[in-house]
Structure 1
Amino acid sequence: MWLVAAFALAGGLAQLVDGTLGMGFGVTSATVLLALGVAPAAASAATHAAKLPTTLISGLAHWREGNVDPRILLRIAVPGAVGGFLGAVVLTNISLESAKSWMAGLLIFFGLVILVRFGAGMRLVPAIPGGNSAKVLSPIGLLGGFVDATGGGGWGPVLTPSLMTVTRHEPRRVVGTVNAAEFVVAVSVSLGFVFGTAHQDIPWLPVLGLVAGGVVVAPFAAKLAGRLPHAPMGVMVGGLVILVNAVTVVAAVVGDLPGWLDATLIVVWISLVAEVARRAWDREKAERRAGVPADVPA
């Protein structure tokens, strides 16, 4: 029972981040499960099983709030579903060690994406003409679905910054549309894992906790989209994801580090992330006072 309660708290916090920032539930959940020793394919399968009800509730809540663009939804959800199914099949057919290193490395990358996105407030490229077209959005959806399945998370970190880059939608519409499309992707990825038999090793008690916490918080997160302090939240989530998965990568590459060095590096990293979060919060407050919409980088 305590295990379910702990994962319910984790699921609620992850959904609060995901529903307001447009990214974080899958990356956070997969990171926690990997840290507990769950096999990569099972961790991704468990995360996507938990996403089925949470993304459905979140998508409906964002729809009611007027945060979803139906045209963009279709242009990213359909190719995302194709990419997600293929990614799930690929992950169930590679070796355990390769899968664990791949997933940890991919999660570190997305942690960096989140950290830079909210810590520096940067667009990677400017908005482009025709960014709402299927020609532009379909490849992004396909890639997002594939990395979401193989990394246990990644749909939001790929799609949310991309849509904020290539379209001119306001942030809450991007977040809502990405959340709604994620349900379709989660269904497809789950079917891919059933096809690949990864569902046999899913830790169902953690999944139950993630679902319980995520479903409760999802409607509130949709209402808070665009209102909570996005920048410091994003920085802290990105920093945590990088820290936890870096342990796996370092162990695979150089082996176990001395305890004193481990502790020193962790303290330094947490201090650095805290400072970046503070500066990001100062920048966001200044932008809000100047009338710049939240989560729109300069």
Structure 2
Amino acid sequence: MMVHRLSLKHISAIMIALKVCLLIFLVVKVLFFSAEPPVFSLDQRFFTILGAGFLAQLIDGTLGMAYGVSCSTLLLTFGLPPAVASASVHTAEVFTTGVSGLSHLFLQNVNKALFFRIVIPGVLGAVIGAYLISEVLNGDLIKPYISGYLLIMGILILVKSFRVLPTVERLRRVFLLGITGGFLDAVGGGGWGPIVTSNLIFQGKTPQETIGTVNTAEFFVAFFSTGVFLFFVGLDSWPVVLALILGGVLAAPVGAVLAKKVKPKTMMRLVGIIIIIISAYTIYKSIF
């Protein structure tokens, strides 16, 4: 396939070009095509979202998960509808995962073969999921089931971190994993990292390479789902997006460096604990 001829430098160039295009589109849309004149305020809500974006991206860049889930949960508490919250998070993710992905590419944390195996089905699943959550589904209905699955995965990863790490000969069901992760990420406002990263690590892939590859692929998943959200939902919550972008962009390079330095078994334990906490919290909120 022609895509496999692309080098990591080509991937970096494509990411930068897509980010610039989206940035120009958003600036033009906010300044010239908004229903109301753009109003910006550096209030407590803005800095709360900025801080949450920073912390979420620091965890995501280091452990390969939790950005979408953390930010979506915060935005829902502010009263944003699920589709609007997911659209805001994914728009911000184009920039935060872009910086994170470029950092991982620079630090050589990315496996090119694995990247292409997950990015294509991931984008396909994200586009389908973004359309359905915008027009058909209620994402809150399936969140408890996703969280129950992730809770089990988190426990298994935590248990596995205390054993000898195996050598992976062949990854299984990668296409299905990618399309499922992309779909559920778009529908639930987060989940690409927990679903894809946890499964690949559980199958025996090294945490550093897995996290770098999954984070880089997440840029494309976020970009294409954002395109669908902008078409069907629009983007009136641009101050929220700006706060998430600023916080995430500041944290992304730091997370990539930490991912390079943390030991594999330590990282597996952290990944397992984060998945268990987030999944248990989501299940609790769904019940109570």
Determine if the TM-score, normalized by the shorter chain, exceeds 0.5. Answer: yes
CA distance, structure 2, for counterparts of residue 101 and residue 136 of structure 1:
26
| 2:214 is aligned with 1:182 | no
Deviation (angstroms), 1:244: 4.6
Of residues 198, 206, 223 in structure 2, which corresponds to 1:161? 198
Deviation (angstroms), 1:36: 2.3
CA distance, structure 2, for counterparts of residue 147 and residue 75 of structure 1:
18
Deviation (angstroms), 1:169: 3.7
| 2:47 is aligned with 1:11 | no
The answer to whether the 8 Å contact 1:84/1:188 transfers is yes
Q: How does 1:19-98 map to 2 (within 5 A)?
A: 19-94=61-136, 98=138
Change (3 A) 1:45 1:122: farther
CA distance, structure 1, for counterparts of residue 73 and residue 148 of structure 2:
10
Q: Deviations over 1:141-166 (max 9, x none)?
A: 11111111011111111111222234
Q: Deviations over 1:26-58 (max 9, x none)?
A: 111111112222111111111101100001100
The answer to whether the 8 Å contact 2:64/2:214 transfers is yes
Deviation (angstroms), 1:239: 5.3
CA distance, structure 1, for counterparts of residue 51 and residue 194 of structure 2:
22
Deviation (angstroms), 1:107: 4.6
Provide the residue aligned with 1:101 in structure 2: 141
Of residues 191, 202, 214 in structure 1, which corresponds to 2:248? 214
The answer to whether the 8 Å contact 2:53/2:248 transfers is yes
Change (3 A) 1:171 1:31: same
Q: Deviations over 1:120-153 (max 9, x none)?
A: 7489xx876432xxx8322211111111101111
Provide the residue aligned with 1:199 in structure 2: 234
Helix, strand or coil: the match of 2:142? helix
Of residues 185, 209, 229 in structure 2, which corresponds to 1:173? 209
Provide the residue aligned with 1:263 in structure 2: none
| 2:153 is aligned with 1:117 | no
* Superposed CA RMSD: 2.7
| Amino acid across the alignment from 1:174 | T
The answer to whether the 8 Å contact 2:157/2:202 transfers is no
The answer to whether the 8 Å contact 1:19/1:222 transfers is yes
Change (3 A) 1:220 1:11: same
Provide the residue aligned with 1:223 in structure 2: 257
| 2:164 is aligned with 1:136 | no
Q: What TM-score, normalized by structure 2, do the two folds share?
A: 0.74
| Amino acid across the alignment from 1:149 | A
The answer to whether the 8 Å contact 2:153/2:199 transfers is no
Helix, strand or coil: the match of 1:199? coil
The answer to whether the 8 Å contact 2:147/2:283 transfers is no
Query: Which 4+ stretches in 1 moved above 6 angstroms?
Result: none
Change (3 A) 1:216 1:115: farther
The answer to whether the 8 Å contact 1:110/1:154 transfers is no
Deviation (angstroms), 1:66: 0.8
| Amino acid across the alignment from 1:102 | I
Change (3 A) 1:103 1:45: farther
Q: How does 1:230-245 map to 2 (within 5 A)?
A: 230=267, 233-234=270-271, 237-238=274-275, 240-242=277-279, 244-245=281-282
Question: What is the aligned residue count?
Answer: 241
CA distance, structure 1, for counterparts of residue 69 and residue 136 of structure 2:
20
Q: List gaps (5 residues or longer) in structure 1.
A: 252-298
Deviation (angstroms), 1:237: 3.7
The answer to whether the 8 Å contact 1:20/1:175 transfers is yes
Q: Deviations over 1:39-92 (max 9, x none)?
A: 111111111011000011000000111100111111111110010000011111
